[in-house]
Copies of this chain bind each other. A is one copy, B any other.
Amino acid sequence: MSTLAIRRATRADLHAILAMLRADTIPADRETDPDDPRYAAAFDAIEADPNQLLVVAELEGAVIGTLQLSFLPGLSFRGAWRGQIEAVRIDEHCRGRGYGAAMIDWAVARCRERDCYLVQLTSSNSRTDAHRFYERLGWEQSHKGFKLKLRENE
């Protein structure tokens, strides 16, 4: 039986993470060449920030999942920190085996360690399977998520 290892990503994981982002994006041409230096710069910005944590899940030596966790200070909820999860992806050949739930559990545990009051995430309106997944894990669909695009993606 395979054991999932969940850990902080290193620079060596970057291509595997980008392959998962590219394989499941809306729209499909959202991402570009994984050697584009903007990805390495983004990795460095995440790595340098103690409130950002890029995560991978590894199965028998292969990266099969990723997410990004952010810790956000705020005044609301009596000055509480909140956790935020973005960019959750699981390799398409590894779905339906509970690895996604294990990754979310792991991220939530890191948020408890940081004494966050809550964890939040948004999921595209079209990802109805993901909505059911989060509701099964006890998350409440309590908010509407709005985006404003500021420039072309080029």
Residues of A within 8 A of B (CB): 14, 17-18, 21, 25, 30-32, 36, 38-43, 45-46, 49, 51-52, 54, 68, 70, 72-81, 86-87, 108, 111-112, 115-125, 131, 134-135, 137-151, 153
Interface majority SS (helix, strand, loop, mixed), chain A: mixed
Number of copies: 2
Which 5 pairs, one residue from A and one from B, show the smallest C-beta to C-beta distance? A143-B145, A42-B79, A38-B79, A45-B73, A122-B143
- Provide a sorted-by-A list of 29 A–B residue pairs whose CB atoms are within 8 angstroms: A21-B75, A21-B76, A30-B77, A31-B76, A31-B77, A32-B78, A36-B79, A41-B79, A45-B73, A49-B51, A49-B73, A51-B51, A54-B75, A70-B72, A112-B151, A117-B149, A117-B151, A117-B153, A118-B150, A119-B147, A120-B122, A122-B144, A124-B142, A137-B148, A139-B146, A140-B148, A143-B145, A143-B146, A143-B147
B146–A142 contact, CB under 8 A?
yes
Q: Which of A52, A77, A87, A135: most chain B Cβ within 10 A? A: A77
Q: A51-B49, A75-B21, A79-B38 are in contact. Are A120 and B140 (CB under 8 A)?
A: no
Cβ contact within 8 Å between A147 and B139: yes
What is the minimal beta-carbon distance from A51 to any residue of chain B, in angstroms?
A: 7
A149 touches B118 (CB 8 A): yes
- List, in ascending order, chain B residues with CB within 8 A of A79's CB: 36, 38-43
Contacts of A75 in B (CB 8 A): 14, 17-18, 21, 39, 42-43, 46, 54, 68, 87
